[in-house]
């Protein structure tokens, strides 16, 4: 999974966040009596929500929690396999928590980790994903 995100602080401890994350090849190979098919698939997730940010701990550590809405797109780039088109869209939500550490005294460069629970609801399905990402950030 790779992604980019953007956050805007509307208040000292409140941030509006959005982004785009892409999960590559998440689906396993599908097999039946006629053979196996490996879908060249992707999940695209676009979250939009708020994040509550704690005051700095020890001058460099920042903790946060957040959540909001989620748009999910599942796409297959090789659908001509006899399985038909299995691309789909869905809406849902997400919750996240995070920890980040400033690398410099001006607090411009940050590294951290963010676990997320993604809850998507395409037609007739309920999908749940748990991800942990390593984050590299620049603040201006």
Rounded CA-CA distance 107/139 in Å is 8
Distances (CA, A) of 99 to 2, 16, 60, 122: 18, 17, 11, 31
Cα 3 → chain centroid = 7
Q: Does domain 2-138 have CATH number 2.40.160.20?
A: yes
Average of per-residue pLDDT across 94-120: 96
First to last CA, the chain: 26
Query: Would the pLDDT of 125 be above 70?
Result: yes
Q: Are 105 and 83 in contact (CB under 8 A)?
A: no
φ/ψ of 24, rounded to 5, equals: -95, 135
User: Would you list the domain boundaries of the chain?
Assistant: 2-138
**pLDDT tens digits, residue range 4-62?**
999 999 999 999 999 999 998 887 777 888 888 777 888 999 999 999 999 999 889 99
């Amino acid at each position: 999974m790779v992604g980019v995100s953007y956050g805007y602080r509307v208040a000292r401890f409140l941030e509006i966040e959005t982004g785009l994350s892409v999960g590559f090849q998440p689906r396993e190979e599908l097999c039946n009596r006629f053979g196996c098919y490996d879908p060249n698939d992707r999940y695209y997730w676009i979250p939009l929500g708020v994040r509550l940010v704690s005051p700095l701990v020890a001058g460099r550590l920042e903790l946060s929690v957040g959540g909001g809405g989620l748009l999910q797109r599942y796409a297959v780039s090789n659908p001509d396999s006899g399985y038909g088109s299995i691309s789909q869209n869905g809406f849902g939500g997400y919750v996240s928590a995070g920890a980040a550490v400033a690398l410099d005294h001006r607090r411009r460069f940050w590294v951290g980790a963010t676990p997320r629970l993604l809850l998507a609801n395409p037609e007739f399905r309920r999908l749940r994903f748990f991800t942990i990402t390593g984050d590299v950030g620049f603040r201006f």
